[in-house]
Structure 1
Amino acid sequence: MFSFPNPVNEVAARVVAAGVVLLSVVTIAADLPWLTAVIAYGFLARVAAGPRFSPLGLLATRVIAPRLGEPKPVPGPPKRFAQAMGAAMSLAALVLVIVGATTAAYIVLGGLAAAAFLEAAFALCLGCKIFALGMRLGLVPEEVCAECNDIWARAGAA
């Protein structure tokens, strides 16, 4: 029940990222700080169990992504790490909202929206890039993502 998919459909991941952008922009533009809790819940749910308990994850994987063409499988561990980074940022924003620092919370959400936009629009996953750096530096054991090793070995050989 509490596991993360591997592989992940990159199409669905990009749809989720677009949803995060939308929710973050609405939160900031409409000055609805309570939506920060919704964003944080979504990230925590996706880190814990993939899309299983995330309304946005379910919408992306079961409704939208299947209508956008063939799935594009990518390794799951880097995507989970990226979701964990989103969880940390959205929880930080939520804490800021709770203590009354709404402007600071919106700045954090703006950074989160920017990172999610890069994923949604260009398939540029900043969390995945940091995960790759962690593997290259030996901070992430190779067995965490054997597929990643194969992908990066092929990319280095090209």
Structure 2
Amino acid sequence: MEKFKNKTIYVDENVVSLVAYQVVLITVFGLHFQQQWLLLLLVIDFFIRASGIFMSPLSYTAKKISEFVYFEKKPVFAAPKRFAASLGLLMSLLIAVFYDSQSGIFLGVMLILFACAESVFHVCIGCYIYNYLVNPILRKFNSPKN
């Protein structure tokens, strides 16, 4: 597929995986060296991706890497990915606030595991939450009354 039909509905799975890899790196460095500013950069990036106002810095970097390496584009539905970015925003915000405590480390490890699952295995935990919890609720409220 050379071009996506509607860029707001689909995202490139390879770009998403590269973004997840960057999230792993930034979270590991931010927690290991206790650099709160790195964790706050993650919060900002997740906010930009969750809101969809424009392309986030990590998405831009991942897109350029994908183009440079000539990855084949693999379109996937964007709504679950945006929901996952919203969950990432919540987690990264809590990590940035509690970065020097046990709970911050625990949440950081959880974020690293979720991002590794996306980056290495193309398994989006937030997408599963969206598909099995959020989507049925949305269908129920959007279905016509009998």
CA RMSD of aligned residues (A): 2.2
What is the DSSP-based 3-state SS (H/G/I as helix, E as strand, rest coil) of the residue aligned with 2:36? Answer: coil
Structure 2 residues without counterparts, runs of 5 or longer: 1-6
1:36-51 equivalence runs, <5 A = 36-49=39-52
Match of 2:4 in 1: none
**1:91 and 2:93 matched:** yes
In structure 2, C-alpha distance between the alignment counterparts of 1:103 and 1:111, rounded to whole Å: 12
Q: 1:105-132: CA deviations, max 9, x gaps?
A: 2221111111000000000000011111
Query: How many residues of Structure 1 are paired with residues of Structure 2 in the alignment?
Result: 135
1:85-124 equivalence runs, <5 A = 85-97=87-99, 101-124=100-123
**Which has the higher mean CA deviation after the structures are superposed, 86-95 or 7-16?**
86-95
In 2, are the aligned partners of 1:93 and 1:109 still within 8 Å (CA)? yes
TM-score for the superposition, normalised by structure 2: 0.82
In structure 2, C-alpha distance between the alignment counterparts of 1:68 and 1:15, rounded to whole Å: 13
Does the C-alpha gap of structure 1 residues 78 and 143 become closer, same or farther in structure 2, counting only changes over 3 Å? Answer: farther
In 2, are the aligned partners of 1:96 and 1:102 still within 8 Å (CA)? yes
In structure 2, C-alpha distance between the alignment counterparts of 1:143 and 1:125, rounded to whole Å: 25
Among 9, 21, 24, the alignment partner of 1:21 is 24
Match of 2:9 in 1: 6
**1:78 and 2:76 matched:** no
Structure 1 residues without counterparts, runs of 5 or longer: 145-158
In 2, are the aligned partners of 1:51 and 1:57 still within 8 Å (CA)? no
TM-score for the superposition, normalised by structure 1: 0.77
Match of 1:140 in 2: 138
Looking at secondary structure, tell me which structure has more helix per residue. 1
Q: 1:45-77: CA deviations, max 9, x gaps?
A: 11112661x21111012x112224211000010
Q: 1:4-63: CA deviations, max 9, x gaps?
A: 8320100000000000000011112222223111111110011112661x21111012x1
In structure 2, C-alpha distance between the alignment counterparts of 1:44 and 1:135, rounded to whole Å: 20
1:54-73 equivalence runs, <5 A = 54-61=56-63, 63-66=64-67, 67-73=69-75
Q: 1:84-143: CA deviations, max 9, x gaps?
A: 11011111222324xxx534222211111110000000000000111110256x213389
In 2, are the aligned partners of 1:19 and 1:56 still within 8 Å (CA)? yes
